Structure 1
Amino acid sequence: MEGLYCGKQDCYDVLGVTRDSSKYEISKAYRALAKKHHPDRHRDEKEKAEASEMFKTIANAYEILKDDEARTDYDYMLDHPEEYYRHYYHYYRHRMAPKVDIRIVVAVTITVISAFQYYAAMFRWSSGVRYLAAQPKYRSMAMSYAEENGMLDNLRKIKKRNKEDIKAEEERIIKQVLEENIDIRGGYAKPRVSDVLWIQLLMSPYTIYLYFAWQVKWFWRFTIKKEEYGTEEKLYLIRRYLGISSTQFEALSDAERKEFLDEELWIKENFVAWKDAKEEERKRQLAESARYKSYRRYMKKHGPGRMYFDD
């Protein structure tokens, strides 16, 4: 069929094989013909041009017959040449389809996402350390730690250094002390390789196993055996009622978590009452706000604003 596959020629005839030939036989025939008709074997320009055209024809036939899907479509065309539009669609669908292995695309995508995750986490961590290094309280703690551990001794021995160099070195030491000793939680926590997507996917079977094992253990201890909740279990229930992630919960202060425990918020009824009280308090504070009162007076007197359009 003109314009499709091998045109008016039969791809099997081009390679000197039959429709029953195996992939190995087709590949063997192609290598022999490609070697015979390679343009570099000819010195005469005319013969070289003819060999080049023949080489392209052989290569095209091989590309069609070595691919299982393309070969199936080609065989169907030989048996049903009248279905021109179907052959046209299948031929160009195969020709225009991406040649890249989808597995490679997925792997590269996951790698890029993982790298971005780690870079973003490292940036947040560095930002958190810089912020703490700028706070007098943490600077003082870091400097005291550095002095106690002799980290400033070398800095003071060199007398010829200018103030800028000394200040820069002090900043580096302060950040180093904070990075090694401070426990930043929540979204600014120190990045871990185990948190990136690649590792999460590789560890997912184990993670799923741990999740179900934990559910079974919880059911056995607290539903069947009616054990008392420990501090960890109480905090888990409170976090679940709050509807926040473990990272967000860890970012809360110790005082806030202690308040939750003192209020016994792991008990559903206590949590609902506490939440309603907090909501009422928020509404009361909003109602008492001077700006909100002014806005209410304005709305009561003038109503909502109107917009006019001139023709």
Structure 2
Amino acid sequence: MASNRCLLVLLCIASQAIVATHGFIEGLYCGTENCYDILGVTRESSRGEISKAYRKLAKKWHPDMHRGKEAKEEAVVMFQKIANAHEILKDDEQRADYNYMLDNPEEYYTHYYYYYRRRMAPKVDVRIVIVVTITIISAVQYWGMWNNYNTAIKYLSREPKYRNQAMEIAKSQGLINTNKKRDRRNKEEIREEEDRIIKEIIAEKMDIRGGYSRPKYTDVLWVQLILSPYTLILYIHWWLRWIWKFTICREEYGEEEKCYLIRKFMKLSQTQWDALEEADKELYLEEELWIKENFTEWKRQQEEEMKAKMAESAKYKMYRRYMKKGGPGQMTFGPD
């Protein structure tokens, strides 16, 4: 059995070697036929001569020029061969790969690589694909930011606290008619007008931060990529300035540097830091959390307070009992 397998492998290798020595490989280019012979041209023929021979043969073997089932089937096969040979020889790079295969028939697997590398390569310029992809991402990103912002405005306009404040501002500025009896519009129109005015006042007066803040064109991916060299220069300048002032000259940190260190220790982005209340920021500065030791101690205290609150929570106690009894894998019959 083992000897039969070895013999089969040797036969396969031998057959591949025999095919390769002739310069033709089944499944590559024109298969076991010569592309030049199919078109009736030579390797020295120019591109114009190849195109001329193709047009002549294509006219001769076009399926519409033949009648009868057998004749039409033969014409289809020949027409496909002619078109395939012309497709290979009209392209200079693909023609060069084909000539290399004819000159080096022993490099069997190399010819497969060159052939499928071109066949599987994208037909569209990669640069166009990148530009279109970035444009789509930027458009979706910009739409998402505006959608989040409008969602925040809509939410705040429905909250009684903010709605009442906006209503008072609108009345004081005379934007809303307080005498509704003289207003001839129906209730629906009056309500829509009030909602529009309230949303405009909230959008103007409210300082919405974080992921729901008002979109900026500088947040779009395209703009960030264009400004990336400038941003990199600013970062290098900031980093060199930090090294010079606080590492070499050992100057004291300013408020901006203190806030940066606190934000770094808390692992917050600039947007998340900006979304914090000013009172919280002042508290962090009072506790000197820009010092690593102070921040470590503050974090430990926060974790202990959180554990104490969770220990007093009835839901957390129920959850701990649930996990002690087996968690999701347990079987229960009624309430605990």
Q: TM-score, normalised by structure 1?
A: 0.78
Deviation, 1:51, is 10
Deviation, 1:108, is 2.4
**Counterpart residue number, 2:248:** 224
Aligned-partner Cα distance in 2 for 1:291–1:225: 54
Contact 2:50 2:89 in 1 (8 A): no
Pairing 1:262–2:282 present: no
State percent identity of aligned pairs: 52
- CA-based RMSD of the aligned residues comes to 3.9
**Counterpart residue number, 1:147:** 171
Aligned-partner Cα distance in 1 for 2:317–2:104: 82
Aligned-partner Cα distance in 1 for 2:190–2:139: 35
The CA deviation string for residues 207-251 of structure 1, in whole angstroms up to 9 with x for no partner, is 111111111112222223333322222111110110111111111
Pairing 1:80–2:100 present: no
Structure 2 matches for 1:260-299, cutoff 5 A?
260-293=284-317
| SS state at 1:252 partner | coil
Contact 1:39 1:52 in 2 (8 A): no
Of the structure 1 ranges 150-159 and 247-256, higher mean CA displacement relative to structure 2 is found in: 150-159
| SS state at 2:227 partner | helix
Structure 2 matches for 1:60-75, cutoff 5 A?
60-67=84-91, 69-75=93-99
**Counterpart residue number, 1:207:** 231
Deviation, 1:16, is 4.4
Aligned-partner Cα distance in 2 for 1:122–1:95: 43
Amino acid at match of 1:213: H
Contact 1:39 1:55 in 2 (8 A): no
Is there any run of 5+ residues in structure 2 with no aligned partner, and where? Answer: 1-23, 332-336
**Counterpart residue number, 1:122:** 146
Pairing 1:172–2:172 present: no
User: CA 1:219–1:54 in structure 2 vs 1: closer, same or farther (change >3 Å)?
Assistant: same
The CA deviation string for residues 167-198 of structure 1, in whole angstroms up to 9 with x for no partner, is 01110111122223322101111112221222
Aligned length: 301
Deviation, 1:86, is 5.0
Of the structure 1 ranges 88-97 and 210-219, higher mean CA displacement relative to structure 2 is found in: 88-97
**Counterpart residue number, 1:112:** 136
Contact 2:142 2:220 in 1 (8 A): yes
Contact 2:137 2:221 in 1 (8 A): yes
Aligned-partner Cα distance in 2 for 1:37–1:174: 76
Amino acid at match of 1:252: L
Amino acid at match of 2:291: I
Contact 2:58 2:82 in 1 (8 A): no
**Counterpart residue number, 2:215:** 191
